C-alpha cells in the first residue's frame, strides 16, 4: 500500500456520467477535510476543468443544502486528453501549481484510470465509485445505482398501467451501458415477462415472440420486456414483434431521467460515508486507492488491483429471475400460485443451486398436489 507525505490541500472532482448521490459524497469529503484542518478545493467539470484550471476554494457553506440535490454541483465532463501522457502530465502540473497534493476522484472505471496515472506522477489520489451502472468490479455498491433503479422501476410501473389498458406489449429500455444490473433489478421488481441483458441475451427474438403469443393465449393482457441499453434497438425490435404477433407493441426509452432526481436515502448515506472515507485515506498518507463497499463493510483497494478485476452478474440473481419466469410461463394462473412460487424459492434457497427444468417441473407438481390438498381442507 502506497504511503505519502502529509496532505495539506485536497481537491475534489466528479468525472464521467453524473449519478444521484455525488453531491452527498462531495459534501462529506469537503466537511471532513475542513474538520481535519485541510484546505479543500473544488475542481469544476472533471479532468477537463482540472486542465483548464477551473478550481475554486470550498467552504462548508458551499456544500450546504446539497445532499438532497441530484447531479453534481461541481459539474462533470468526459476528457479524451486525459487518456494521453501529455494530458496526464498537464493535469499533474496544474495540481502542483495550485498546491493540490491530494485528490478525491468520484466516477467510474475511466475516472479511476485517470487517477491511477496521476498517482504515478506523484499526486495522491483516492477514487470513489460513482456510476448508476453498478459495473465497478471491486465494489457491491456504486453511488447513484439505488436512485436510478428506483426511478426506472417507478417509470415501468406507469408504463405497465397503460400497457394493460391497451393490451399492448411494451419494451422498456433502461440504462447501464454494457452492464445489465438496472435491467435485471427492474425486471424482477416490475415482474417483467422478459429481461434482456447484454451478459445473457442470445438474440433469439423468436423465443420472445413465442412467449408473447403463449401468454396472450392464456389471457394475459400485457407483456413487459425490460431491455438493457447494451442491447438497445428497442424501437426496431418493437416493430418486428408487432409484425410477427399482430399485437400492438411500443418501445419506451427511459434515457437520462435515470440519472436525475433527488438521491434515495441509501445513496445519500453510502455516498457520504465513502466521501469521508476517501479523505481519511488521504490524511493517513495513502494514495492510489479506490473506496469500495464489500460484504457490508467500507474498504479500499489498490487502483491497479481494482481496475484488473472483472465483474459478472451474480448467478444466483440471474437464476432466481429465471425461476420466476419459468413458473409464470409454465403454470396456469390458479389459486395456489402464491404457495407454488413461495415453495419453489424455499426449495431453491435451501441449496438446490444446480436446479434443472425437469427438476423444477417435478417440484412444481409435488407442491401443487400438496397445495391442493391443503386448500381442500381449509
133, 269: one domain: yes
List the single range of 46-50, 174-178, 195-199, 365-369 with lowest mean pLDDT.
365-369
Are 209 and 73 part of one and the same domain?
A: no
> What is the β-pairing status of strands 124-129 and 102-107?
parallel
Hey, is 255 helix, strand or coil? helix
Domain annotation covers residue 315: no
Question: In this structure, is residue 4 part of a structural domain?
Answer: no
Residue 360: half-sphere exposure toward Cβ, Cα within 13 Å? 22
Stretch 69-74: mean pLDDT: 97
Is it the case that residue 346 has pLDDT exceeding 60? no
Q: What would the grid cell of residue 348 be?
A: 431453491
Cβ–Cβ < 8 Å for 323, 187: no
Asked if 134 and 200 sit in the same domain, the reply is no
Q: What is the pLDDT of residue 333?
A: 38
CB neighbour class for 238 (10 Å; exposed up to 12, middle 13-18, buried from 19): buried
pLDDT given at position 375: 38
For 349-377, give the DSSP string.
Answer: HTT-TT--HHHHHHHHHHHHHHHHHHHHH
Residues contacting residue 312 through CB under 8 Å, at least 6 positions apart: 199
Same domain as 13, residue 137:
yes
User: Which three three-digit cell numbers place residue 362?
Assistant: 417435478
Distances (CA, A) of 344 to 237, 324, 340, 355: 33, 9, 6, 11
35 and 130 inside one domain: yes
Q: Which active-site residues does the annotation give?
A: 133
| pLDDT tens track for 124-135 | 999 999 999 999
- Asked whether residue 74 falls in the same domain as residue 36, the answer is yes
Residue 116 and residue 228 in one domain:
no
Kind of pairing between the strands at 249-253 and 169-174: parallel
Helix (H) or strand (E) holding 249: strand 249-253
Residues 160 and 109 both lie in one domain: no
CA distance linking residue 185 with residue 96, whole number of Å:
44
Residue-number span of the structural domain to which 337 is assigned = 322-378
Residue 312's pLDDT band (boundaries 50, 70, 90)? confident
Q: 88 and 68 in one domain?
A: yes
Residue 302 resides in a domain: yes
In this model, does residue 378 exceed pLDDT 90?
no
Mean pLDDT of 267-294: 98
> Rounded to whole angstroms, how far apart are CA atoms 88 and 82?
5
Instruction: Report the pLDDT value the prediction gives residue 315, as an integer from 0 to 100.
Output: 78
Contact between 196 and 182 under an 8 Å Cβ cutoff? The reply is no
Q: Return phi, psi of residue 350, to 5°.
A: -75, 0
The pLDDT value given to residue 318: 74
Average pLDDT estimate for 199-227: 93
| Cell numbers given for 366 | 409435488
The reply to whether 313 falls in a domain is no
- Is pLDDT above 80 for 334? no
The phi and psi torsions of 5 (rounded to 5 degrees) equal -75, 170
In this model, does residue 370 exceed pLDDT 50?
no
Confidence of residue 347 (pLDDT cuts 50, 70, 90): very low
| Residue 105 CA: distances (Å) to CA of 50, 160, 350, 366 | 11, 39, 42, 55
In a shared domain, residues 279 and 342: no
Please indicate whether residue 361 or residue 373 has the higher confidence score (pLDDT): 361
Cell (9 digits) for 352: 438446490
64 within some domain: yes
CATH of the domain at 164: 3.40.50.460
Burial of 103 (0-12, 13-18, 19+ CB in 10 A): buried
In terms of C-beta density within 10 A (0-12 exposed, 13-18 middle, 19 or more buried), how is residue 225 classed?
A: buried
Neighbour tally for 35: CB within 10 Å: 11
- Boundary-marking domain end, from 249, 276, 308: 308
Taking the mean position of all CA atoms in its chain, how far away is CA 6?
35
- Counted domains in the chain: 3
Residue 244 above 60 pLDDT? yes
Residues 197 and 248 in one domain: yes
Q: What is the pLDDT confidence band of residue 245, given thresholds at 50, 70 and 90?
A: very high
Q: How many beta carbons lie within 10 A of that of residue 266, not counting itself?
A: 15
How far is 178 from 182, CA to CA, in rounded Å?
11
The CA dihedral of 188, 158, 248, 166, to the nearest 10 degrees, is 120
Q: Which of 13-22, 169-178, 190-199, 358-367 has the lowest mean pLDDT?
A: 358-367
Q: What is the pLDDT of residue 324?
A: 63
pLDDT of residue 359: 55
| CB contact at 8 A, 263 and 25 | no
Q: What angle do CA 168, 172, 175 make, to 5 degrees?
A: 180
Residues 223 and 90 in one domain: no
Is residue 2 in some structural domain? Answer: no
Q: Is residue 93 part of a domain?
A: yes
Confirm whether 173 is domain-assigned.
Answer: yes
Q: Which of 193, 84, 199, 89 is nearest to 134 (CA)?
A: 199
Amino acid at each position: 500500500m502506497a504511503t505519502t507525505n502529509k496532505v495539506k490541500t485536497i481537491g475534489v472532482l466528479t468525472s464521467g456520467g453524473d449519478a444521484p448521490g455525488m453531491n452527498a459524497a462531495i459534501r462529506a469529503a469537503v466537511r471532513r477535510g475542513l474538520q481535519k484542518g485541510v484546505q479543500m478545493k473544488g475542481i469544476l467539470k472533471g479532468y477537463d476543468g482540472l486542465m483548464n484550471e477551473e478550481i475554486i476554494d470550498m467552504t462548508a457553506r458551499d456544500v450546504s443544502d446539497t445532499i438532497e440535490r441530484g447531479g453534481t454541483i461541481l459539474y462533470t465532463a468526459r476528457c479524451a486528453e486525459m487518456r494521453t501522457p501529455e494530458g496526464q502530465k498537464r493535469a499533474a502540473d496544474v495540481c502542483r501549481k495550485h498546491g493540490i497534493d491530494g485528490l478525491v476522484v468520484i466516477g467510474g472505471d475511466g475516472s479511476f484510470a485517470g487517477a491511477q496515472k496521476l498517482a504515478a506522477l506523484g499526486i495522491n489520489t483516492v477514487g470513489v465509485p460513482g456510476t448508476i451502472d453498478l459495473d465497478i468490479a471491486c465494489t457491491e455498491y456504486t453511488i447513484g445505482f439505488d436512485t436510478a433503479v428506483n426511478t426506472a422501476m417507478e417509470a415501468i410501473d406507469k408504463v405497465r398501467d397503460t400497457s394493460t389498458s391497451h393490451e399492448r406489449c411494451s419494451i422498456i429500455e433502461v440504462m447501464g451501458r454494457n452492464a445489465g444490473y438496472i435491467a435485471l433489478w427492474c425486471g424482477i421488481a416490475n415482474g417483467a415477462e422478459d429481461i434482456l441483458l447484454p451478459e445473457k441475451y442470445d438474440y433469439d427474438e423468436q423465443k420472445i415472440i413465442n412467449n408473447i403469443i403463449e401468454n396472450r393465449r392464456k389471457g394475459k393482457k400485457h407483456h413487459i420486456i425490460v431491455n438493457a441499453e447494451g442491447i438497445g434497438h428497442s424501437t426496431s425490435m418493437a416493430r418486428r414483434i408487432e409484425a410477427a404477433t399482430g399485437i400492438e407493441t411500443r418501445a419506451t426509452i427511459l434515457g437520462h431521467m435515470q440519472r436525475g432526481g433527488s438521491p434515495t436515502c441509501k445513496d445519500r448515506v453510502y455516498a457520504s460515508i465513502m466521501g469521508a472515507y476517501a479523505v481519511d485515506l488521504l490524511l493517513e498518507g495513502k494514495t492510489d486507492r479506490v473506496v469500495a463497499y464489500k460484504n457490508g463493510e467500507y474498504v479500499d483497494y489498490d487502483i491497479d488491483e481494482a481496475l484488473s478485476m472483472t465483474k459478472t452478474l451474480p448467478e444466483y440473481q440471474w437464476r432466481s429471475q429465471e425461476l420466476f419466469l419459468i413458473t409464470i410461463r409454465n403454470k396456469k394462473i390458479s389459486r395456489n400460485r402464491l404457495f407454488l412460487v413461495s415453495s419453489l424459492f424455499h426449495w431453491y434457497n435451501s441449496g438446490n443451486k444446480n436446479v434443472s427444468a425437469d427438476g423444477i417441473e417435478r417440484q412444481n407438481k409435488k407442491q401443487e398436489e400438496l397445495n391442493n390438498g391443503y386448500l381442500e381442507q381449509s
